[in-house]
């Protein structure tokens, strides 16, 4: 079954959507969209280095993303520039350096469009293994740090004061983000990874009453976007990444249409013990 | 002793926010920080909690100290779907009945399913306080906990804080501008203005010259004027609290601060 490139693309794309959903929610909540953009743009630098040093592309991209993320955190602490200027500077410098390095390597033939916009034909069985095993690892790690990470998202000071150790959770989160960027690069392409992170999450917002629910709905919307987008890409011979993003965008537009019965109706509900949702353990 | 600061200070942006702070908090006592804006009250509280590191001096916190924090400002933006009852479980696990009890104690059980971003300022403060109490802390830090709360609620919440510290035997570090309330329920007052101006029991502090020069001679005058009695209380959803009618003797001590005009008319 996995011999068919289209099936491979779908399976890979769904794997990516499943991890991108919850991480994308955090990207939105923490206003990190531009941060994600910077990491994903630096992925091209990772590609260039991988080809230059003949390393595994996904792994190199992951490493470069982690390095850029840590660099950003350091620079933001020193803060000689405002953080949006800093992000813009790094994002486009990394992209430009990546492109220049690629251009110098005349001996490698690179499908630049594939890296920039995604290439469903390029997904191999090894990539699938990487996406799914990596994806499961990312999800497990995210569940482990969920409470401190979420607490730090609401208020860093509160989380610190009450001993949930948000710094550790923040670092793990950044590494997970880098991992997702590395594995989703082949499917949606460097330029559109942030879209895959934030559009399903943004579309999920209106239907959600709790953060956990928003993460789940973001996954569902992401999976449907991948399926719709890849089918459209095959049908109309359009590039994979943009097609997926367009599909996700249509879900987002649907979510902001003023249809009254789409609103979560929490304010009219009586208090009912939603036992399944609650932790039974006492503090 | 729960925690202590010894000659501690915080240095930021090339100036000392606070310096030379020495204080300690014992279980079951309320220590109140007062001082003008920018005098370093919040900074001191954050230093006590370990949110800010002291750049000089020593800090000591008892091991496994369970702290609860009501910050001065907390922004829950619309992108975050966060109901009140989910917010109650932000840093700790809790059963539904525990959440209900905590919300009832600040009279906001009816808000349990509301979204945090829809709350009014006063409601938000009540949620923050309920959440802090829910954790059964050893150390409770309240940074202007009743800002935006209506007048009756203010008195009730201060009474609740007073109850809680007896019930849980927790130390409370309170930042407040309500000098009248502070002076009546606090064990110790620390008067800040970048450093400790004066500290001690409320009576001592109120009569000190430093206090008078910071807040003016008349900061506490008019206190005795404000006395009258309500015969009922309103719950937050607008209903009359039936239980409040019977305990009018409780009312006497809490209404110290209430408006004087009606009393004057009655007389």
Please answer whether residues B25 and B5 qualify as being in contact, where contact means their C-beta atoms are separated by less than 8 angstroms: no
Q: What is the pLDDT of residues A209-256, one digit of tens each?
A: 999 999 999 999 999 999 999 899 888 988 888 899 999 999 999 998
- Residue A142 has, within 13 A of its CA and on its CB side, a CA count of 23
In whole numbers, what is the pLDDT of chain A averaged over residues? 84
Both B65 and B141 in one domain: the answer is yes
CB pair distance less than 8 Å for A211 and B86: yes
Please indicate, yes or no, if residue B39 is contained in any of the structural domains. yes
Give the model's pLDDT for residue A22.
95
Both B264 and B145 in one domain: the answer is no
Please indicate, yes or no, if residue B19 is contained in any of the structural domains. yes
Give the model's pLDDT for residue A112.
81
- Candidates A203, A268, A283: best to mutate against B (most CBs of B within 10 A) is A283
Give the model's pLDDT for residue A263.
56
Please indicate, yes or no, if residue B128 is contained in any of the structural domains. no
Give the model's pLDDT for residue B133.
93
- Token digits of residue B166: 């007896």
B79 touches chain A (CB under 8 A): yes
Please indicate, yes or no, if residue B242 is contained in any of the structural domains. yes
Please indicate, yes or no, if residue B231 is contained in any of the structural domains. yes
- As beta bridge partners, residue B11 has B16
What ranges do the domains of chain A cover? 5-260
Of B51, B79, B118, the CB nearest to A29: B79
Q: Which residues of B touch A211 (CB under 8 A)?
A: 80-82, 86
Both B228 and B169 in one domain: the answer is no
Write out chain B's pLDDT in tens, 267 residues.
889 999 999 988 888 999 989 999 999 999 999 888 888 999 999 999 999 999 999 999 998 899 999 999 898 888 899 999 999 999 988 999 999 999 999 999 999 999 999 999 899 999 999 999 999 999 999 999 988 888 888 888 898 999 999 999 999 999 988 787 777 888 999 988 888 888 888 888 878 888 877 777 666 654 444 444 556 666 677 676 666 554 444 444 444 444 444 444 454
Both B217 and B263 in one domain: the answer is no
Q: Which residues of A touch B86 (CB under 8 A)?
A: 210-211
Both B259 and B149 in one domain: the answer is no
CATH number of the domain to which B46 belongs: 3.40.50.300
Give the model's pLDDT for residue A193.
86
Give the model's pLDDT for residue B225.
40
Of A162, A269, A279, the CB nearest to B93: A279
Both B266 and B172 in one domain: the answer is no
Q: Which residues of B touch A266 (CB under 8 A)?
A: 83, 113-115
Segments in chain A forming alpha helices (H): 5-29, 33-41, 43-53, 57-78, 83-104, 112-117, 125-154, 156-161, 166-188, 193-205, 211-236, 240-256
Q: What predicted TM-score, i.e. pTM, was given to this entire model?
A: 0.81
Give the model's pLDDT for residue B245.
54
* Shortest CA distance from A202: residue in chain B: B79
In chain B, how many domains are there? Answer: 2
Tell me which residue of B6, B105, B133 sits closest to A283, measured CA to CA.
B133
Nearest-angstrom CA–CA distance, A144 and A163: 16
Nearest-angstrom CA–CA distance, A180 and A193: 9
Q: What is the pLDDT of residues A48-75, one digit of tens each?
A: 888 888 888 888 999 999 998 888 878 7
Please answer whether residues B91 and A159 qualify as being in contact, where contact means their C-beta atoms are separated by less than 8 angstroms: yes
- Residue A144 has, within 13 A of its CA and on its CB side, a CA count of 12
Please indicate, yes or no, if residue B83 is contained in any of the structural domains. no
Both B39 and B165 in one domain: the answer is yes
Tell me which residue of A46, A62, A24, A50 sits closest to A193, measured CA to CA.
A24
- As beta bridge partners, residue B115 has B83
Of A162, A208, A275, the CB nearest to B91: A162
Q: A42 pLDDT exceeds 50?
A: yes
Both B146 and B213 in one domain: the answer is yes
The residue segments making up the domain with residue B260 are 223-267
Please indicate, yes or no, if residue B125 is contained in any of the structural domains. no
CB pair distance less than 8 Å for A210 and B81: yes
Please answer whether residues A223 and A17 qualify as being in contact, where contact means their C-beta atoms are separated by less than 8 angstroms: yes
Q: What are phi and psi of B223, to 5 degrees?
A: -55, -45
Lowest mean pLDDT among A77-91, A126-140, A222-236, B188-202: A77-91
Q: A264 pLDDT exceeds 60?
A: no
For A5-260, the fitting CATH number among 3.50.50.60, 1.10.3470.10, 1.10.287.70, 3.40.50.300 is 1.10.3470.10
Q: What is the pLDDT of residues A4-16, one digit of tens each?
A: 888 888 999 999 9
A153 touches chain B (CB under 8 A): yes
Both B164 and B214 in one domain: the answer is yes
Tokens 């630098």 -> residue: A45
Please indicate, yes or no, if residue B234 is contained in any of the structural domains. yes
Give the model's pLDDT for residue A14.
92
Both B20 and B69 in one domain: the answer is yes
More confident residue, A97 or A77: A97
Q: What is the pLDDT of residues B200-225, one digit of tens each?
A: 888 888 788 888 777 776 666 544 44
Nearest-angstrom CA–CA distance, B36 and B38: 6
């Amino acid at each position: 079954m996995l011999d068919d490139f289209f099936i491979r693309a779908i399976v890979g794309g769904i794997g990516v959507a499943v991890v991108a959903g919850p991480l994308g929610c955090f990207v939105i909540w923490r206003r990190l969209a531009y941060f994600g953009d910077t990491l994903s743009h630096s992925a091209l630098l990772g590609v260039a280095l991988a080809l230059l040093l003949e390393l595994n592309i996904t792994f190199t991209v992951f490493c470069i993303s982690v390095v850029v993320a840590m660099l950003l955190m350091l620079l933001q602490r020193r803060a000689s520039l405002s953080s949006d200027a800093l992000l813009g500077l790094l994002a486009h410098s990394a992209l430009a350096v990546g492109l220049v390095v690629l251009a110098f390597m005349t001996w490698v033939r690179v499908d630049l469009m594939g890296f920039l916009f995604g290439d469903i034909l390029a997904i191999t069985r090894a990539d699938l293994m990487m996406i799914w095993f990596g994806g499961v690892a990312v999800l497990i790690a995210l569940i482990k740090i969920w409470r401190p990470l979420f607490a730090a998202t609401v208020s860093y000071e509160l989380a610190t004061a009450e001993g949930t150790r948000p710094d550790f959770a923040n670092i793990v989160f950044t590494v997970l983000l880098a991992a997702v960027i590395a594995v989703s690069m082949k499917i949606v392409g460097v330029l559109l990874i942030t879209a895959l992170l934030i559009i399903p999450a943004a579309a999920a917002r209106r239907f959600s009453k709790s953060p956990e629910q928003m993460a789940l709905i973001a996954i569902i919307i992401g999976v449907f976007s991948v399926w719709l987008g890849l089918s459209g890409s095959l049908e109309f011979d359009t590039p994979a990444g943009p097609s997926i993003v367009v599909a996700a965008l249509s879900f987002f537009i649907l979510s902001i249409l003023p249809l009254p019965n789409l609103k979560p109706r929490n304010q009219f509900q009586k208090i009912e013990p939603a036992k399944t949702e609650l932790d039974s353990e006492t503090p | 002793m729960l925690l202590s600061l010894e000659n501690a200070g915080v240095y930021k942006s090339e100036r000392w926010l606070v310096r030379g702070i020495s204080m300690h908090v014992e279980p079951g006592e309320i220590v109140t920080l007062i001082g003008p804006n920018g005098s370093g009250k919040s900074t001191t509280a954050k230093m006590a909690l370990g949110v800010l590191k002291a750049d000089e001096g020593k800090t000591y916190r008892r091991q496994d100290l369970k702290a609860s924090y009501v910050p001065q400002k907390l922004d829950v933006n619309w992108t975050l779907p966060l109901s009140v009852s989910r917010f109650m479980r932000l840093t700790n696990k809790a059963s539904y009945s525990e959440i209900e009890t905590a919300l009832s104690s600040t009279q906001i059980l009816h808000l349990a399913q509301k979204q945090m971003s829809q709350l009014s300022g006063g409601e938000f403060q009540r949620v923050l306080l309920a959440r802090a109490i829910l954790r059964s802390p050893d150390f409770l830090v309240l940074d202007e906990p009743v800002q935006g709360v209506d007048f009756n609620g203010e008195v009730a919440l201060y009474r609740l804080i007073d109850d809680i510290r007896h019930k849980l035997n927790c130390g409370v570090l309170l930042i407040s501008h309500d000098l009248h309330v502070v002076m009546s329920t606090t064990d110790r007052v620390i008067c800040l203005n970048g450093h400790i101006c004066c500290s001690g029991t409320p009576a001592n502090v109120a009569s000190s010259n430093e206090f008078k020069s910071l807040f003016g001679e008349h900061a506490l005058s008019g206190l005795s004027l404000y006395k009258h009695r309500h015969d009922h209380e309103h719950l937050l959803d607008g209903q009359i609290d039936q239980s409040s009618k019977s305990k009018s003797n409780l009312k006497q001590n809490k209404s110290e601060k209430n408006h004087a005009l009606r009393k004057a008319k009655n007389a």
